[in-house]
């Protein structure tokens, strides 16, 4: 078995996965959303302290599997340095105590392997990663053969939902609240500009849209919020839709996936399904409970590294704010 730890942002999670069958045996996550909600976003120092409390509690429940562990996998990049270090330090202590090797896992590769927690892996696959920290399109041919072909120049897709929710005083995380509010609103009431529309480059941008929404919120009262949420969500997704449509002209997808916390968004899923239809390309999604940050996906990616003998010496296991992707 492999034990995996995730602490890159505001979720403390540990999983145990059977190596031979890739079957998830145990997973527990303690989220800090309520603690960060009153600040309208993640406060790194607070997150770090909460990980230090939550991770040992979850680890206690994993004791029965300690004798069967062959490695400890841990997210070491990308993320907040002060929160990553909580998981990495625990992994190092466990490695020493149990005399097992360590495996550093890139969080983004974890999100990609969330697709294969309950299903066998299939390649090649074009992946749209939409989370609080990232918005990018990755051509995935194998664990070690991944190329980012489009990325955001500023804010991320999920982050823009968080910021719009904050403007309206709706708390954190913003994604689910905005999606729910948008169901009651008119997506055509506010004609927010589609980002980078006149620029041909294959890239994303959310800061301009965010500012346009800010101006609307300043002039609105609460009865307008559902329409603002619906119009914002529509344009945020329309931007992804148009850039992907352009990319597909030269790179038609064989199969496509959406991963990351914001892949839970139903409106996004529907629009991407529509975009894929003419290509006959299937849309792959992770089980809903593994869209947001979790340790099951880190364990799943960790097994791939384990099978390739890709261990990291404790002294070489560093926390890095940026991904290799």
Residue ranges that bind ligand KG4, judged by CB under 6 A = 9, 131-133, 158-159, 161-162, 173-176, 179, 260-262, 264-265, 292-293
Residue 312 binds: one of Zn ion, ligand KG4, none (C-beta under 5 to 8 A by kind):
none
> CB 293 → Zn ion: shortest distance, Å?
4
Tokens of 130: 């939409």
Q: Between residues 263 and 312, which has the closer beta carbon with respect to ligand KG4? A: 263
Q: Between residues 159 and 304, which has the closer beta carbon with respect to ligand KG4? A: 159
Q: Between residues 275 and 292, which has the closer beta carbon with respect to ligand KG4? A: 292
DSSP notation for 99-123: T--EEEEEHHHHHHHGGGSSS----
Sole binder of Zn ion in the list 12, 114, 131, 156 (CB under 5 A):
131
Q: Between residues 69 and 236, which has the closer beta carbon with respect to ligand KG4? A: 236
Q: How far is Cα 242 from Cα 29, in angstroms, rounded to an integer?
A: 35
From the list 68-76, 173-181, 270-278, 291-299, the region that binds Zn ion by CB under 5 A is 291-299
From the list 29-37, 161-169, 289-297, 306-314, the region that binds Zn ion by CB under 5 A is 289-297
How many residues in the shown chain lie near Zn ion by CB under 5 A? Answer: 2
Q: How far is Cα 238 from Cα 271, in angstroms, rounded to an integer?
A: 8
> CB 298 → Zn ion: shortest distance, Å?
10
> CB 173 → Zn ion: shortest distance, Å?
11
Nearest-Å Rg of the Cα atoms of the chain is 20
Q: Between residues 1 and 296, which has the closer beta carbon with respect to ligand KG4? A: 296
> CB 129 → ligand KG4: shortest distance, Å?
9
Cβ pair 286, 260 in contact under 8 A: no
Strand 135-142 and strand 24-31: the pairing is unpaired
Q: Between residues 71 and 106, which has the closer beta carbon with respect to ligand KG4? A: 106
Strands (E), the chain: 2-6, 11-17, 24-31, 71-77, 102-106, 125-130, 135-142, 145-151, 256-259, 283-285
Coil, helix or strand for 315? helix
Q: How far is Cα 171 from Cα 164, in angstroms, rounded to an integer?
A: 10
Coil, helix or strand for 275? helix
Task: Give the CA distances from residue 196 to residues 68, 125, 148, in Å, rounded to whole numbers and listed in that order.
Answer: 52, 26, 19
Q: Please, which of residues 161-220 interact with Zn ion by CB under 5 A?
A: none
> CB 34 → ligand KG4: shortest distance, Å?
14
> CB 173 → ligand KG4: shortest distance, Å?
4
From the list 22-30, 70-78, 182-190, 292-300, the region that binds Zn ion by CB under 5 A is 292-300
Interface with Zn ion includes 135 (CB under 5 A)? no
Tokens of 270: 């529907």
Say what angle helices 174-182 and 157-167 make with each other, to 10 degrees.
70
Sole binder of Zn ion in the list 136, 293, 294, 317 (CB under 5 A):
293
Say what angle helices 225-250 and 207-219 make with each other, to 10 degrees.
160
Cβ neighbours of 322 (radius 10 Å): 9
3-state secondary structure 139-203: EEEECCEEEEEEEECCCCHHHHHHHHHHHCCCCCCHHHHHHHHHCCCCCCCCCCCCCCCCCCCCC
> CB 127 → ligand KG4: shortest distance, Å?
13
Q: Between residues 106 and 179, which has the closer beta carbon with respect to ligand KG4? A: 179
Q: Between residues 55 and 165, which has the closer beta carbon with respect to ligand KG4? A: 165
Residue 158 binds: one of Zn ion, ligand KG4, none (C-beta under 5 to 8 A by kind):
ligand KG4
Contact residues: Zn ion, CB under 5 A: 131, 293
């Amino acid at each position: 078995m492999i034990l995996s730890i995730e602490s890159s942002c505001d979720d403390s999670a540990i999983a145990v996965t059977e190596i031979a069958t890739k079957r998830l045996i145990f997973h527990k996550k303690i989220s800090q959303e309520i603690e960060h909600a009153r600040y309208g976003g993640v406060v790194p120092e607070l997150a770090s302290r909460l990980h230090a409390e939550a991770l040992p509690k979850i680890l206690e429940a994993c004791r029965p599997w300690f004798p069967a562990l062959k490695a400890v996998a841990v997210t070491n990049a990308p993320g907040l340095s002060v929160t990553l270090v909580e998981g990495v330090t625990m992994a190092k202590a466990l490695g020493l105590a149990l005399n097992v090797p360590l495996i550093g896992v890139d969080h983004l590769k974890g999100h990609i392997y969330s697709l294969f927690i309950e299903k066998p892996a299939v390649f090649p696959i074009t992946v749209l990663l939409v989370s609080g920290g990232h918005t990018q399109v990755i051509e995935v041919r194998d664990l070690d053969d991944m190329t980012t072909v489009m990325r955001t120049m500023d804010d991320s897709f999920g982050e823009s939902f968080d910021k719009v929710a904050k403007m309206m005083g709706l708390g954190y995380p913003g994604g689910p609240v905005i999606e729910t509010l948008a169901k009651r609103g008119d997506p055509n009431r506010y004609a927010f500009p589609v980002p980078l529309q006149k620029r041909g480059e294959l890239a994303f941008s959310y800061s301009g849209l965010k500012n346009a929404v800010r101006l609307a919120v300043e002039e609105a009262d609460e009865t307008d919020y559902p329409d603002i949420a619906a119009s914002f969500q529509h344009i945020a997704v329309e931007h992804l839709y148009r850039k992907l449509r352009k990319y597909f002209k030269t790179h038609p997808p064989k199969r496509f996936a959406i991963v990351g916390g914001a892949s839970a968004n139903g409106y996004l899923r529907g629009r991407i399904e529509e975009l894929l239809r003419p290509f006959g390309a299937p849309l792959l999604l992770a089980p809903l409970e593994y869209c947001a940050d979790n340790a099951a996906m880190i364990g799943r990616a960790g097994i791939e590294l384990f099978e390739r003998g890709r261990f990291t010496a404790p002294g070489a296991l560093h926390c890095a704010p940026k991904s290799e992707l």
